[in-house]
Amino acid sequence: MTSAREEILARVTSALGTDRQPPADLPQRARVTWDAGRTVDQFVETTADYRAIVERTVVNSLPQHIAAALAGASAASVIRPAGLDPSWLTGFPGTVLTDDHHTAYDLDSIDAVITAAAVGIAATGTVVLDHGPDQGRRAISLVPDVHVCVIRADQVVPDVPEATAALREAINERRPLTWISGPSATSDIELDRVEGVHGPRTLHVIIVDQDG
Amino acid sequence: MPKFPSMARDGLANTQQRRNLQHATHTIRSKRATVVDEVPDWEELRVRGAAVKDQVLAHLDDYLVQLEASLTASGATVHWARDADEANRIVRDLVQAKEVDELVKVKSMATQEIELNEALEEVGISAWETDLAELIVQLGHDRPSHILVPAIHRNRSEIRDIFREEMGAVGTPAPDGLTDEPTDLAEAARRHLREKFLRAKVAVSGANFAVADTGTLVVLESEGNGRMCLTLPETLISVVGIEKVVPTWEDLDVFMQLLPRSSTGERMNPYTSMWTGTTEGDGPQEVHVVLLDNGRTSVLADEVGRQALRCIRCSACLNVCPVYERAGGHAYGSVYPGPIGAILTPQLRGTSSPLDQSLPYASSLCGACFDVCPVRIQIPELLVHLRTQVVDEHRGGRPSAEGVAMRTASWMFADHRRYEKAQRASTMSSKLLGERTTLGRLPWPASSWSGARDAPAPPRETFRQWWVRTHGSESR
Ligand code: SF4
């Protein structure tokens, strides 16, 4: 008896006929040239368009901004990935937990999560997490209702092709990726947009410039 | 199932549905147009999207073998399914091995196509749909009517009633005094489903794309239910049509640009998950991928029809189709409604049933579907191609009623005296029609044509009659 695998592959081969060229590489697409300053401004606009809260700051005032973001969302507890810079949360007066095999039920009782990011995309208002040590596993940035995401200005790229290029290494390492554009949303009821069905209802993006 | 024209009659008569659909399709349509206009090289992207998919299809066997190898190397288990039964059996066995009687699902056209939920139900496994619209459809014991917004035929008060009546029987009930405000309805869905997400051991998904060189699967969504299903359970089973392959990670960027803008009219959908097999300490530790044929290889064998496999299920063609807008999704009798359904369904299932024979005719051939299609599928050309196939299959048999009517018509149009006589007959009949503005049903053989059309009633006087009356004699 032939296996399903053999049979499907045989069907494909016979559907395609015998005289075939091997797959050829498609020609490269032209890359856009871009102006880094404008890219971050555009990222701010497109991200805000998705009803995320967006702000820019400098590295020295980051802890205050994070504390203010958490206070603004009335969060009393926050979970942080083990690899996140601990100084970021020094301004926050509430409970800080470091992720350590918390169950989904545990996560459901925590108000907020803070993560770093891997890449930002200006054309679309997207942050991409590659779940490195400062971003943590996927569940922690999903279950709590508030997500504060910190991204460096130099991580923002203009468009999707630059983002996929920047993420190649993470993919080679077989890391999962999560692309986030605004808070959870649905338009399923008469096309009225409602924020937050299953994911975090608040997304707060903080862009940090290294100097200043 | 009956033919499209009779199935469409319910949709046409349902004014609520027509109003909802009109509002929905026009809203999404204009959002799409705005965000597509933002992209300077949109046409180039479409051409590239089509080229990447054609490349995959032309070497599908090679890419499937490569995909299998990279999936396996990254810790996933690959299964192959020739048809719906085989795929359902594979999933059922995997779920039963986990000794659970329920699982969570993220909306997937492939699993709808194989009717997985029903197959699981038979062995006592409840499959909970977690996308808000799919939840509405499932709780309402209903069928989806649109690819992207499956419950678009329901309005808010219908949804509230469904939630009130049905949620309690299968889990957390709707809160007392639930209103029909969308925010309240979404909150009720959140509470109802959260309990299911937190305890789920097994999840089932589809995939929008499967990257051959890296073994990465991709799911685009908005609500976070996808992320819940893809990361919280211990076991994840993804049913993936064999046409979902893209060659390399770099090729994915084209589709990450084309799909969200074509589909919801957004620059990007709120969430996209990409996973490559298993990751230690993060997400499901047991990952299965079921590669599904179910008719796709026979579509592949048709050189003209093959391009339908480029479809990335964005639903842009539904939103511009005048026939879909009026008839609604249920009339197409399959999970793929609208223009793409009219070509894909009869190709996947073959054209032996009356419904599948009628689907290639469920179009005005206006061409709007091709203009919006992000992967440039020549839907009108394919409709004509399939019509030819249907006609050829019938040749030699009894002529169809429509054939007789059309032959009569051509006999009539061939000679002006016959034509005038017929015209006079029809203006006479219009006096019989009284104040009616449309014809309604005509007697056989014309009924096969009038059954699905509201043709205007003929005028009370032909132009020639009017000329004779006002100018005295018929001058040539
Ligand atoms: S046929 Fe084209 S427009 Fe229609 S759903 Fe598929 S990809 Fe979208």
* pLDDT at site B340: 93
What gap in Å lies between CA B44 and CA B316, rounded to an integer?
Answer: 18
Q: Closest by alpha carbon to A24, among B56, B255, B50, B245?
A: B56
Report chain B's terminal Cα–Cα distance, integer Å.
Answer: 54
Dig out the tokens for B321 from the structure. 């189709």
Summarised one tens digit per residue, pLDDT across range A111-148 is: 999 999 999 999 999 999 999 999 999 999 999 999 99
Dig out the tokens for B409 from the structure. 């018509």
The pLDDT of B221-239, averaged and rounded, is 97
The minimum CA-CA distance between A191 and chain B, rounded to whole Å, is: 7
Say if B190 is an interface residue toward chain A (CB within 8 Å). Answer: yes
B137-147 per-residue burial string, b: 16 or more CB within 10 A, e: under 16 = bbbbebebbbb
Summarised one tens digit per residue, pLDDT across range B34-84 is: 999 999 999 999 999 999 999 999 999 999 999 999 999 999 999 999 999
Say whether B214 and A171 touch across the interface (CB within 8 A).
yes
Say whether A23 and B62 touch across the interface (CB within 8 A).
yes
What percent of chain B is modeled with pLDDT above 90? 66
Query: In the Cβ-directed half-sphere of B25, how many Cα atoms lie within 13 Å?
Result: 27
Say whether A198 and B242 touch across the interface (CB within 8 A).
no
Cβ-based neighbours of A167, under 8 Å, separated by 6 or more: A118, A119, A128, A130, A177
The minimum CA-CA distance between A163 and chain B, rounded to whole Å, is: 8
Q: Of all protein residues, whose CA lies closest to atom 4 belonging to ligand 1?
A: B317
CA B416 to chain centre: 45
pLDDT at A31 over 80: no
Concatenated DSSP letters of chain A: ---HHHHHHHHHHHHH-S--PPPPPPPPPPPPP--HHHHHHHHHHHHHHTT-EEEEEEGGGHHHHHHHHHHHTT-SEEEE-TTS-GGGGTT--SEEEE-SS--HHHHHT--EEEE--SEEETTTTEEEE---TTT--GGGGTSSSEEEEEEEGGGEESSHHHHHHHTHHHHHTT--EEEE-SS-EE-TTTT--EE-SSS-SEEEEEEEES--
- Which of A96-110, A186-200, B332-346, B458-472 has the weakest average pLDDT? B458-472
User: Is the C-alpha dihedral spanning B225, B231, B235, B241 positive or negative?
Assistant: positive
* pLDDT at site B471: 84
Summarised one tens digit per residue, pLDDT across range A35-85 is: 667 899 999 999 999 899 999 999 999 999 999 999 999 999 999 999 999
**For ligand 1, is residue B372 a contact (CB within 6 Å)?**
yes
Summarised one tens digit per residue, pLDDT across range B176-198 is: 999 999 999 999 999 999 999 99
The minimum CA-CA distance between B297 and chain A, rounded to whole Å, is: 6
* pLDDT at site B14: 83
| Summary mean pLDDT of chain B | 89
- Which of B221-225, B287-291, B409-413 has the weakest average pLDDT? B409-413
Task: Look at chain B and count its residues.
Answer: 476
Peptide bond into B247 cis (omega under 30): no
**For ligand 1, is residue B125 a contact (CB within 6 Å)?**
no
Say whether A29 and B44 touch across the interface (CB within 8 A).
yes
The minimum CA-CA distance between B345 and chain A, rounded to whole Å, is: 19
Option in B149, B273, B279 nearest A187 (CB): B149
* pLDDT at site B451: 60
Atom of ligand 1 nearest to the CA of B376: 2
* 0.90 exceeded by pTM: no
* pLDDT at site B123: 97
User: Residue B442 — pLDDT band, cuts 50, 70, 90?
Assistant: low
Number of Cβ atoms within 10 Å of the Cβ of B407:
12
Mutate to test the interface with A, among B268, B287, B298 (most CBs of A within 10 A): B268
* pLDDT at site B468: 83
**For ligand 1, is residue B343 a contact (CB within 6 Å)?**
no
Q: Closest by alpha carbon to A210, among A73, A72, A93, A36?
A: A36
Q: Of all protein residues, whose CA lies closest to atom 2 belonging to ligand 1?
A: B373
pLDDT at B423 over 80: no
Say whether A50 and B270 touch across the interface (CB within 8 A).
yes
Say if A196 is an interface residue toward chain B (CB within 8 Å). Answer: yes
What gap in Å lies between CA B151 and CA B143, rounded to an integer?
Answer: 8
Cβ-based neighbours of B317, under 8 Å, separated by 6 or more: B338, B339, B340, B368, B369, B372, B373, B379
Give A 31-50 residues with CB within 8 A of chain B: 46, 49-50
Atom of ligand 1 nearest to the CA of B379: 1
Q: Of all protein residues, whose CA lies closest to atom 6 belonging to ligand 1?
A: B311
**For ligand 1, is residue B264 a contact (CB within 6 Å)?**
no
